[in-house]
């Protein structure tokens, strides 16, 4: 593996702080490095690999479609894309879909669509501690200055309200507000879950004032939270939903879903994507989403997520750094008192053959594949229970 580390450091731009491990193959909830050591994957490529690694549904779909057609461009009708769009529409509150390649691109499309919806309005209200992507407009919508540092001037028109604070939200909207951007669970912000009352109040305000409600479901979509989409927990219907991560089961795809009256603002020539929704990724994505829906993985995420949070809370009670566990379904955050301690937990987990990550400053993130079993959760919980002993 040393040659991999050397060549990566020598030839790849160093914008990632990588752990010194490289994986050769994966199977189910496990990854294997080039020395054959197994790692229990509770990060799933940051909530991407919803079916784990080398799942037959994904592998077979890639093989089948790759032998037929990979790419043609959106100058032509694409059957696989239409089939995927139909599946997403029939299982959501939306009516039309635009496909792209990533979460940031989906959010860029949402920003553009919101400004087209009422051309007299241009402001977007998002939340403090939010994260919407690394492109300039998505970065401007992100309510964390640490990601924005060095990239001024950012696009104008973005305002940040305190998460779960309705009175502060009311101070941030005005006659020029086109849309509100909401993550039901702030992923990069620390696995912060939105209050149901807060979401209901914001949604009702948007409806009463002709402001679009955009749900960023990049990380929460495709069964992650125990519902196919996280908005279903809140009893509302967003005007726009953005998806990526788990949508492709490992292949890069993003999507914007919208209500018909909103979607129609994207007329001919207003937006596009060369690779978006090509035959290969669309076919694989439809296979992944269909499998999640038809094989009980959504309810499984709810049940096993509750089990994991209960067990973690139980074993961490005597840890002086422990501050609580947050989340929905299999999107779980363990909050500690100090950032350095949270960093040390992630490093020690890696040393023990477990892959987890950080979200925000003091939260350890656990987002295993939706195929995870209780025995895998127990192994990770046992690691957390041993933290005071190490």
Active-site residue, 229 included: no
In 3D, which of 188, 133, 140, 138 has the Cα closest to residue 160?
140
Q: What is the pLDDT of residue 119?
A: 85
- The range of the structural domain enclosing residue 360 comes to 2-55+297-385
Annotation marks residue 245 as catalytic:
yes
The catalytically annotated residue of 41, 163, 184, 216 is: 216
Q: Are residues 220 and 254 in the same domain?
A: yes
Identify whether residues 272 and 310 lie together within a single domain.
no
Is residue 390, in this structure, part of any structural domain at all?
no
Per-residue pLDDT of the chain (390 residues; tens, 9 = 90+): 789 999 999 999 999 999 999 999 999 999 999 999 999 999 999 999 999 999 999 999 999 999 999 999 999 999 999 999 999 999 999 999 999 999 999 999 999 999 999 989 999 999 999 999 999 999 999 999 999 999 999 999 999 999 999 999 999 999 999 999 999 999 999 999 999 999 999 999 999 999 999 999 999 999 999 999 999 999 999 999 999 999 999 999 999 999 999 999 999 999 999 999 999 999 999 999 999 999 999 999 999 999 999 999 999 999 999 999 999 999 999 999 999 999 999 999 999 999 999 999 999 999 999 999 999 999 999 999 999 875
User: Exposed, middle or buried: residue 35 (CB in 10 Å: 0-12, 13-18, 19+)?
Assistant: exposed
| CATH code of 127's domain | 3.40.640.10
- Which pLDDT score, from 0 to 100, does residue 364 have? 98
Same domain, 71 and 185: yes
Note whether 31 and 94 are same-domain residues: no
One domain for residues 271 and 324: no
Question: Is 215 found in the same domain as 231?
Answer: yes
The residue annotated as part of the active site, out of 42, 98, 131, 203, is 131
pLDDT of residue 193: 98
Among the listed residues 299, 277, 276, the one whose alpha carbon sits nearest the alpha carbon of residue 286: 277
Catalytic residue among 227, 245, 259, 286: 245
Domain stops at, among 245, 263, 294 = 294
112 and 10 assigned to the same domain: no
Question: Which residues partner with 128 through β-bridges?
Answer: 143
Identify whether residues 102 and 185 lie together within a single domain: yes
Domain boundary among 294, 314, 335: 294
| Domain boundary residue, one of 237, 263, 294 | 294
Is there a single domain that holds both residue 117 and residue 140? Answer: yes
**Structural domain count of the chain:** 2
At residue 1, the pLDDT reads 72
**117 is an active site residue:** no
Do residues 360 and 342 lie in contact, with contact meaning Cβ atoms separated by under 8 Å?
no
Does 83 reside within a domain? yes
What pLDDT was estimated at residue 389?
A: 73
- pLDDT at 390 (0 to 100): 59
Q: What is the pTM of this model?
A: 0.97
CATH number at residue 303: 3.90.1150.10
Q: Are residues 74 and 31 in the same domain?
A: no
Match 């241009």 to its residue by tokens: 122
Residues 149, 260 share a domain: yes
Q: Are residues 18 and 64 in the same domain?
A: no
């Amino acid at each position: 593996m040393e040659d991999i580390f050397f060549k990566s450091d020598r030839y790849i731009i160093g914008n990632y702080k990588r752990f010194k491990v490289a994986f050769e193959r994966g199977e189910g909830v496990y990854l294997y490095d080039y020395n054959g050591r197994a790692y229990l994957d509770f990060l799933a490529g940051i909530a991407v690999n919803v079916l784990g690694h080398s799942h037959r549904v994904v592998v077979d779909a890639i093989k089948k479609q790759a032998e037929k057609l990979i790419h043609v461009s959106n100058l032509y009708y694409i059957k696989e894309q239409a089939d995927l769009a139909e599946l997403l529409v029939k299982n959501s509150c939306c009516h039309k879909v635009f496909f792209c390649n990533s979460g940031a691109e989906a959010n860029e499309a949402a920003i553009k669509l919101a400004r087209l919806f009422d051309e007299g309005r241009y402001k977007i209200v998002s939340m403090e501690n939010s994260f919407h992507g690394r492109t300039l407009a998505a970065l401007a919508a992100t309510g964390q200055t640490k990601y924005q540092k060095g990239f001024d001037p950012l696009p104008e028109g973005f305002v940040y309200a305190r998460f779960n604070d309705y009175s502060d939200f009311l101070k941030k909207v005005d006659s020029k507000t086109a849309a509100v951007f909401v993550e039901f669970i702030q992923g990069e912000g620390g696995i912060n879950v939105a209050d149901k009352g807060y979401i209901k109040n914001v949604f009702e305000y948007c409806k009463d004032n002709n402001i679009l409600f955009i749900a960023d479901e990049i990380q929460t979509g495709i069964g992650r939270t125990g519902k196919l989409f996280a908005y279903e927990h809140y009893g509302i219907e967003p005007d726009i939903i953005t998806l990526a991560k788990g949508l492709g089961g490992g292949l890069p795809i993003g999507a914007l879903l919208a209500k018909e009256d909103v979607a129609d603002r994207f007329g001919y020539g207003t937006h596009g994507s060369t690779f978006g929704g090509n035959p290969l990724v669309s076919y694989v994505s439809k296979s992944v989403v269909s499998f999640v829906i038809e094989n009980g993985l959504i309810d499984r995420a709810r049940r096993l997520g509750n089990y994991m949070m209960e067990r973690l809370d139980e074993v961490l009670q005597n840890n002086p750094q422990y501050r609580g566990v947050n989340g929905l379904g299999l999107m779980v955050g363990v909050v500690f008192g100090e950032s350095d301690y949270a960093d040390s937990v992630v490093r020690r987990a890696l040393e023990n053959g477990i892959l987890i990550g950080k979200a925000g400053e003091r939260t350890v993130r656990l987002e295993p594949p939706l195929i995870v079993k209780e025995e895998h959760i127990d192994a990770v919980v046992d690691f957390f229970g041993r933290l005071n002993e190490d």
